[in-house]
Amino acid sequence: MSQSWALRCQILSCTSQPTDDSGWFYHSDGLIWVVDGLIKRVGSYSDVKNYLPSDIRIKHKPEYLLIPGFVDTHVHYPQLEMIGAYGTQLLDWLNRYTFPVELKYRDYEYASKQAVQFLDQLLANGTTTALVFATSSVNSVDAFFAESLRRNLRMISGKILMDRHAPDALCDTAQSAYDDSTALIEKWRGQGRLGYAVTPRFAPTSTDAQLDVAGALIKENGDAYLHTHLSENVDEIAWVGELFPEQQGYLDTYDHFGLVTDRSVFAHGIHLSDAEMQRLHNCGSAICHCPSSNLFLGSGLFPLKRLQQMGVNVTMGTDVGGGTSLSMLSTQGDAYKIQQMAGHLLKPLEAFYMATLAGAKALGLDDRIGALVEGYEADMVLLDLASTPVIEERMKRADKIEDVLFALSILGDDRSIAQTYVMGESVL
């Protein structure tokens, strides 16, 4: 039996990097038709209605806005339970709060329970695809993938590679990292909509031998991604300089081992040199901006304008638990505020692009998610434009879709998510 349904509502999506008048569309009276989990047709009501089968029932929600599901390109599922841990910057925060929590995920039952909660919350916030840090334990990845597969989610994760500067019980070795990652890739390859990311935590917690292994894994598995942290915090960068004196800078510690590719996503990238930005552009790698984390850990002001000028693909992530919310709406608002401090205006549609199609592009998935386009997977979010009294009142004064979007990024959160669709199925 084919599953076919239609919804008449407001519809907004990017189709490429947006300018003021291209790369996106908005229908104040739109119609979407979904068949078997894919978008069959989308456009204005007056046009699309002519293609619908005569017996289809059209749901009508004129006060709601349909957008693509958010793509969160950097988040740690085991850190949701320690979100909002008080005080200190990155390196101390890792030792004090993060590593003790991650130890618990060696237990499969525990990791499974936490994966359920994390995915519930991710979907409640309208995120349908994420690039996710697990922990260094194989069980943490198995648990996450099993739950994601059960829900038919398009999720990407991988085992952390970490063979130094962390508690012994969290550390692997270069060899075990290779063996375990290879086994995980083979086990989960082709399962549902899952993808695998080779995930060295960051340069300081991997030896040269292990970064070499990461490079080998990337080379041997063309479908794998590379996911790590880069240039987040000034003390971290100084430490990288001490640990890798023979490299030309932080990015070079990855580049030297073949980890800078068009399937690489680097979280943060706050303190990059022009040469590093140029290299990222040349290699087609993405930088994932994590504004709430940058604020919370006091990491610095993200150089969005310079990265855009260099043509680097910039995506958006929540970086929970360094980040303070799983909401990709409020994350867009935080990105705006950081650019205000940096003397640059971030336009609402630019932020929206970073939170949707740019993320899909970084993952090589922009031919199937991140936009509302015929043939794409119907991973979508329906936003309630009156989810709180303040938002309802504010929307009466929004005369353009850009202003609607902006107000949602400043005032919205999970309460604004009326429905999340995964392959056309309602999951809230």
User: Where are the extended beta strands (E) located within 154-245?
Assistant: 154-158, 160-161, 195-200, 225-230
Among 10, 13, 73, 98, binds ligand GUN (CB under 6 A): 98
237 binds ligand GUN (CB under 6 A): no
Its sign, for the CA torsion 247, 253, 259, 265, is negative
Q: Which residues, 6+ apart, have CB-to-CB distance to 364 below 8 Å?
A: 262, 263
Q: Which is nearer to ligand GUN, 201 or 271 (CB)?
A: 201
* 300 preceded by a cis bond (ω within 30 of 0): no
Of 178, 188, 196, 202, the residue at the interface with ligand GUN (CB under 6 A) is: 202
94 binding ligand GUN? (CB under 6 A): yes
Beta strands in 98-241 (DSSP E): 127-133, 154-158, 160-161, 195-200, 225-230
Distance CA 388, CA 393 (A): 9
Decide: is 413 part of the binding site for Zn ion (CB under 5 A).
Answer: no
CB of 303 to ligand GUN, least distance (A): 17
402 binds ligand GUN (CB under 6 A): no
Q: Shortest distance, CB of residue 319 to Zn ion, whole angstroms?
A: 4
What is the distance in angstroms between the CA of the first residue and the CA of the last residue of the chain?
Answer: 23
Count, residues near ligand GUN per rule CB under 6 A:
11
Instruction: Return the range that interacts with ligand GUN (CB under 6 A); candidates 17-25, 90-98, 172-180, 401-409.
Output: 90-98
Binder of Zn ion out of 102, 276, 319, 334 (CB under 5 A): 319
- Residue 167 CA to residue 144 CA, distance in Å, equals 23
Please identify, using beta-carbon distances, which residue of 232 and 366 lies nearer to ligand GUN. Answer: 232
- Cα 347–chain centre separation: 19
Residue 322 binding ligand GUN, by CB under 6 A: yes
Contact track, ligand GUN, 302-321, x by CB under 6 A = -----------------x--
Where do we find the tokens 């003397």? 343
Which of 73, 292, 293, 313 forms a contact with ligand GUN (CB under 6 A)? 293
Least CB distance from residue 232 to ligand GUN, whole Å? 5
- Decide whether 40 or 229 has the Cβ nearer to ligand GUN: 229
Going by DSSP bridges, is the β-strand pair 264-268/195-200 parallel, antiparallel, or unpaired?
unpaired
d(CA 263, CA 226): 6
- Binding characters for Zn ion, 204-223, by CB under 5 A (x = yes): --------------------
Q: Should residue 197 be labelled a site residue for ligand GUN when binding is judged by CB under 6 A?
A: no
CA 220, 226, 230, 236 torsion-angle sign: negative
Question: Applying CB under 5 A, which residues contact Zn ion?
Answer: 267, 319
Question: Applying CB under 6 A, which residues contact ligand GUN?
Answer: 76, 90, 94, 98, 201-202, 229, 232, 293, 319, 322
